Chain A
Amino acid sequence: MKKQSKSGAPAADIGVVGMLRWAWRQLTTMRAALILLLVLALAAIPGSLLPQRIQDPGAVSTFIEENGAWGEFLDAVQLFDVYTSVWFSAVYILLMVSLVGCIIPRTKHHLRAMRQAPPTAPRRLTRMSAYRTTPLTTQSEQRTTDELLDAARAHLKKSGYRTVRADDHIAAERGYLKETGNLVFHVSILATVIIMAMGGLFGYSGQRVLVEGETFSHSLVSYDSFDPGTFFDADSLPEFRLTLDDLETRFDDEASGAQFGQPRQFDASVTLNTPEGASEFMLRPNEPVRVDGSRVYLIGNGYAPVITARNANGDVTYSGPVVFLPQDGVYTSTGVVKIPDASPDQLGFGGVLLPTTGRNDDGELISTFAELRNPLLVMDAYRGDLGLDTGVPQSVYQLESDSMEQLVDEDGSPYQMVMQPGDTAELPDGHGSVTFEEIRKYAALDVHHDPVQVWMMPFMALLFGGLSLSLFVARRRVWVRVRGDEVEIAGLARGEDPRVDEAVEELTQVLALESLEPESADPDAGSAQNSSGK
């Protein structure tokens, strides 16, 4: 990388325009592209080592809390938002600028090259990558120069060369598609980046958790979280309602070792209501439902215990399913219940749901399997101010228990509800009762919309086709020259070309008269081919 300075710093007095021109020339060299690529690879790595906000904002806050000043420093240099950070953007934008600066002159040059005739033969053909000779005439057959050159030209044309006849030779070139492919490939990369950026601007994505039996009306307010692009137009949301009729989940209880308990089936039966009518679907992983340009994905699932809370008078203060988030492969799930209407104080419960309860070696209660075989709900209870009226948005999955007080038994130890479905627990100190009615499943749905995504496919095809042409088409020049009674056949590889020697050999065979052994290659010829220009 030190070599960069080789091309020289700008002279001191060239002025601003000169400076810019110099910078532009540096940026559009192959060397700059190479360095930028390496820097891009390096710059992408931290995003895999540190939690990223685009994936898991919760993990980022936890990380910052746990690491104090260090965490804040990392945040300040955007290491939790690597792919939208100033420095990452700078690298790829520079690369794109370099790419444009590279594509334009090369396209011009290539268009010119395609219109020009292949260059005429250099004086010394022996220096080419491959070189053969064969006699023009023999005892058995006489040929004129014209006859031979015509034959050579016909053969070259048939093999896809562009040819031109000079005085005493044929000049031919093939493999223009290599450069065409290379340019198409680079343009496709540019297009890909632009399409990705546009998708972020015009699309949206939203998440919603839906318990069995619930219906989701598609509108901004009914999302749990919604992430619109900068130019997203809320009026363009398609109109539909989605009901989760049933969610079937199955886990492996036969496999051994690490495979035991792995998921085997997630099938969500949904009813979709659109202005056109109702229809039923199976929503599965890898099988989104597509509605009017938006797509609905099943991306998660879990259990929602149905809880009913009553005050001391027996009035219902809360009733409904509470979404618990699975924490591991056996669906040990955590969740909180907030009951602002409880009396005399507001109540909050935090707890763990074990779908199939067992005990570990230390005798602690754990879940041993993800299906609901022997469920148990264990919850602590808090009283006091839930803090819902402060105006600060709260997570429904976390209890702000700082200003709350944990309920205790008569003996002063923390009070705990341990319930199976159907059980009712009496809270101490006249705080009423809690009934664990049943467990329902829920599905976590993602809705996505990306209006420019359809453009990706054609550009991917171009990218791929262009790359293959660029790497695997051989570009070479061939000359056939008559010198006295001798025919010289020479080939020059332009870039990677494993077959130049074979091609020349084949042409020689064609041009040699049947009865003759062709003379073989100059053994030194091989060393010339690597110097061919790129």
Chain B
Amino acid sequence: MDVNVALAQWSNLLIYSAMAVYAIAFIIYAFDLFGPAFAGDTQKADKESGGTADSQADRTDDPSIGAKSVNRTAGSRTESTAAAAGPGSAATAVLDDGDRPVDGTRDGGMGSGGAEDDGHADASTPDLRRWARAGTALTVLATAFLLGAIVTRTLAVMRVPWSNMMEYALIASAIAAVAYLVLLKFRDFRYLGTFVTFSVLLVLGLCITVFHTPAAQIIPALDNYWIWIHVPIAILSTVLLYLSAIIALVQILRSRSESKPWRGPLRFINALPGSKELEKASYRFAAVGFVTWTFTLVAGAYWAEIAWGRYWGWDSKEIWTFVVWVVYAAYLHARATRGWTPTRVAVLNLIGIASVIFNFSVVNLYFNGLHAYAGV
């Protein structure tokens, strides 16, 4: 069976390279968050505008995705320094002015979005977040390696690159990394960099150990066009729900800091956008993720009918996909239910991602059902 072994080896090599670079990016990002630079930023901003967080929270109606939000976010950076001059309308006037020049420089490459943001901020606060900029650049490099690993593996086997756990996890990491980098273009999400690079590093580590699957052809049970539909949507959902959960976690921490600022290593939390804004960002990822998860569920049922003769049979994978779906339905309901504080709702979100991860790891590896993945 035609598997190009040389290419498969290249792919593995690229995974190792990506891991090495992600590791450095993670350390550097962590330094940015926990180290003195970010804290310096925090204290300075706090002093000048009475808290970046508050002024940003006012504009929570920004869409997290969309060209317009670029202006807003960039503007708010300016504002936090300009607010000292005069509160209220003066600040928003600056915001409007800030739009144009930033817009102009912003149409550059995807990965450099974060760096340019800094370029803008540097005008007033030089040298801040230099670490974050380096982290982003390294993340771009590592992600390029990761994409290279996926491409070479695909070429090695000449089939869909998501037919076992390792490939699934590789694609998921790549989507998460690319999504993060693309989002940077619209908003300064670099505080998530530490979490994203760490998660990707962890998953890649699992890929080459626990999930490792040699390059090979596909098993007949998976050899159907539904693998082109059901699986990538499942991967996408996993990533969306994961990003939502990270933000939910930050939201919980941020929400505490609003009554009692963090000290010590977590003090970077104090300078993040307000918990209300984080909650909205988290919700948006979860809402899209819920829709795609619903699609995964329905497409899975459709495929099951073709493969096993029934669309629903309470196979262990079906059970957990259903559990995940119900938990997120509960999350959406909780958001609309009086008496549920944003923090409690966010905890439901975390329970949701825990069940997603359980569904992928424990159910695949230890429960034997019809969904047994090839070779793991």
**Residues of A near any B CB (own CB < 8 A):** 3, 6, 30-31, 33-34, 37-38, 40-41, 44-45, 47-48, 52, 54-55, 82-83, 129-130, 196, 205, 252, 254-259, 262-266, 284-288, 295, 297, 299, 446-448, 450, 453, 456, 460, 463-464, 467-468, 471-472, 493, 495-502, 520-521, 523-524, 526-527, 529-530, 534
- Max count, chain A CB within 10 A of own CB: residue among B61, B64, B294: B61
| Contact indicator A47/B337 (Cβ below 8 Å) | no
| Contact indicator B311/A255 (Cβ below 8 Å) | no
How far is B306's CA from A448's CA once the two chains are assembled, in angstroms? Answer: 11
For A447, the chain B residues whose CB sits under 8 A away are 309
Of A47, A266, A471, which is within 8 A of B319 by CB? A47
Closest chain A residue to B355 by CB distance? A41
Question: What mask results when residues 210 to 253 of chain B are scored 1 for a CB within 8 Å of chain A, else 0?
Answer: 00111111111101101000000000000000000000000000
| Contact indicator B339/A31 (Cβ below 8 Å) | yes
For B320, the chain A residues whose CB sits under 8 A away are 48
| Contact indicator A523/B290 (Cβ below 8 Å) | no
Of B284, B294, B305, B310, which is within 8 A of A464 by CB? B294
Enumerate the 7 nearest inter-chain pairs by beta-carbon distance, A residue then B residue, closest first: A259-B216, A255-B216, A258-B375, A286-B224, A448-B309, A37-B330, A526-B58
Which residues B280-331 have CB closer than 8 A to chain A? 280, 283-284, 287, 290-291, 294-295, 298, 301-303, 305-316, 319-320, 322-323, 326-327, 329-330
The verdict on A264 contacting B219 (CB below 8 Å), with A286-B306, A450-B310 known, is yes
How far is B61's CA from A265's CA once the two chains are assembled, in angstroms? Answer: 54
Which residues B91-111 have CB closer than 8 A to chain A? 91-93, 95-96
For B93, the chain A residues whose CB sits under 8 A away are 520
Question: What mask results when residues 331 to 369 of chain B are scored 1 for a CB within 8 Å of chain A, else 0?
Answer: 011101111100000000000000100000001000101
Of B58, B291, B313, B334, which is within 8 A of A54 by CB? B313
What are 16 residue pairs bridging A and B, where the CB atoms are less than 8 Å apart in the complex? A30-B338, A34-B330, A37-B327, A55-B313, A130-B61, A252-B217, A258-B375, A286-B221, A286-B224, A286-B303, A460-B302, A471-B332, A498-B284, A502-B63, A521-B92, A530-B276
Of A37, A129, A456, A524, which is within 8 A of B326 by CB? A37
| Contact indicator A446/B334 (Cβ below 8 Å) | no
Is B160 close to A, CB under 8 A? no
Is B1 close to A, CB under 8 A? yes
The verdict on A47 contacting B314 (CB below 8 Å), with A259-B374, A467-B294, A527-B58 known, is yes
For A287, the chain B residues whose CB sits under 8 A away are 306
Is B47 close to A, CB under 8 A? no
| Contact indicator B316/A520 (Cβ below 8 Å) | no
| Contact indicator A520/B219 (Cβ below 8 Å) | no
Is B376 close to A, CB under 8 A? yes
| Contact indicator A44/B323 (Cβ below 8 Å) | yes
How far is B369's CA from A55's CA once the two chains are assembled, in angstroms? Answer: 9
Is B264 close to A, CB under 8 A? no
| Contact indicator A500/B61 (Cβ below 8 Å) | yes
| Contact indicator A205/B309 (Cβ below 8 Å) | yes
Is B57 close to A, CB under 8 A? yes
How far is B329's CA from A415's CA once the two chains are assembled, in angstroms? Answer: 62
Closest chain A residue to B227 by CB distance? A286
The verdict on A526 contacting B59 (CB below 8 Å), with A252-B1, A288-B309 known, is yes
Is B82 close to A, CB under 8 A? no
How far is B223's CA from A283's CA once the two chains are assembled, in angstroms? Answer: 14
For A471, the chain B residues whose CB sits under 8 A away are 287, 290-291, 332
| Contact indicator B223/A286 (Cβ below 8 Å) | yes
For A31, the chain B residues whose CB sits under 8 A away are 337-339
How far is B312's CA from A499's CA once the two chains are assembled, in angstroms? Answer: 39
| Contact indicator A534/B336 (Cβ below 8 Å) | yes
The verdict on A34 contacting B61 (CB below 8 Å), with A252-B1, A259-B214, A266-B220 known, is no
| Contact indicator B334/A34 (Cβ below 8 Å) | yes
| Contact indicator B61/A499 (Cβ below 8 Å) | yes
| Contact indicator A257/B223 (Cβ below 8 Å) | no
| Contact indicator B322/A44 (Cβ below 8 Å) | yes
Tell me how far the C-beta of B317 lies from the nearest C-beta in chain A, rounded to whole angstroms.
9
Tell me how far the C-beta of B224 lies from the nearest C-beta in chain A, rounded to whole angstroms.
4
Closest chain A residue to B327 by CB distance? A41
For A530, the chain B residues whose CB sits under 8 A away are 60, 276
How far is B61's CA from A130's CA once the two chains are assembled, in angstroms? Answer: 9
For A129, the chain B residues whose CB sits under 8 A away are 61
For A258, the chain B residues whose CB sits under 8 A away are 213-214, 375-376
How far is B2's CA from A254's CA once the two chains are assembled, in angstroms? Answer: 9
| Contact indicator A520/B96 (Cβ below 8 Å) | yes
For B367, the chain A residues whose CB sits under 8 A away are 48
For B96, the chain A residues whose CB sits under 8 A away are 520
| Contact indicator B305/A453 (Cβ below 8 Å) | yes
Tell me how far the C-beta of A290 lies from the nearest C-beta in chain B, rounded to whole angstroms.
11
- Max count, chain B CB within 10 A of own CB: residue among A40, A447, A498: A498
| Contact indicator B309/A295 (Cβ below 8 Å) | yes
| Contact indicator B61/A263 (Cβ below 8 Å) | no
| Contact indicator B374/A262 (Cβ below 8 Å) | yes
For B41, the chain A residues whose CB sits under 8 A away are none
| Contact indicator A255/B294 (Cβ below 8 Å) | no
Of B290, B326, B340, which is within 8 A of A41 by CB? B326
| Contact indicator B323/A45 (Cβ below 8 Å) | yes
For A37, the chain B residues whose CB sits under 8 A away are 326-327, 329-330, 333
How far is B226's CA from A456's CA once the two chains are assembled, in angstroms? Answer: 18
Is B116 close to A, CB under 8 A? no
| Contact indicator A520/B216 (Cβ below 8 Å) | no
For B311, the chain A residues whose CB sits under 8 A away are 453, 456
| Contact indicator B61/A529 (Cβ below 8 Å) | yes
| Contact indicator B314/A83 (Cβ below 8 Å) | yes
Is B3 close to A, CB under 8 A? yes
For A3, the chain B residues whose CB sits under 8 A away are 339
For B86, the chain A residues whose CB sits under 8 A away are none
| Contact indicator B217/A264 (Cβ below 8 Å) | yes
Tell me how far the C-beta of B295 lies from the nearest C-beta in chain A, rounded to whole angstroms.
7
Is B62 close to A, CB under 8 A? yes
For A502, the chain B residues whose CB sits under 8 A away are 61, 63, 68
| Contact indicator B220/A255 (Cβ below 8 Å) | no
Is B89 close to A, CB under 8 A? yes
For B334, the chain A residues whose CB sits under 8 A away are 34
| Contact indicator A40/B219 (Cβ below 8 Å) | no
Closest chain B residue to A284 by CB distance? B220
| Contact indicator B219/A263 (Cβ below 8 Å) | yes
18 additional A-B pairs beyond A460-B302, A499-B61, beta carbons within 8 Å, are A6-B339, A30-B337, A31-B339, A34-B333, A34-B340, A37-B333, A44-B322, A252-B217, A259-B374, A262-B375, A285-B221, A288-B306, A297-B308, A448-B310, A496-B287, A501-B59, A502-B63, A520-B96
For B226, the chain A residues whose CB sits under 8 A away are 286
For B322, the chain A residues whose CB sits under 8 A away are 44
Of B214, B305, B336, which is within 8 A of A257 by CB? B214
For B309, the chain A residues whose CB sits under 8 A away are 205, 288, 295, 297, 299, 446-448
Tell me how far the C-beta of A432 lies from the nearest C-beta in chain B, rounded to whole angstroms.
41
How far is B96's CA from A135's CA once the two chains are assembled, in angstroms? Answer: 19
How far is B218's CA from A297's CA once the two chains are assembled, in angstroms? Answer: 20
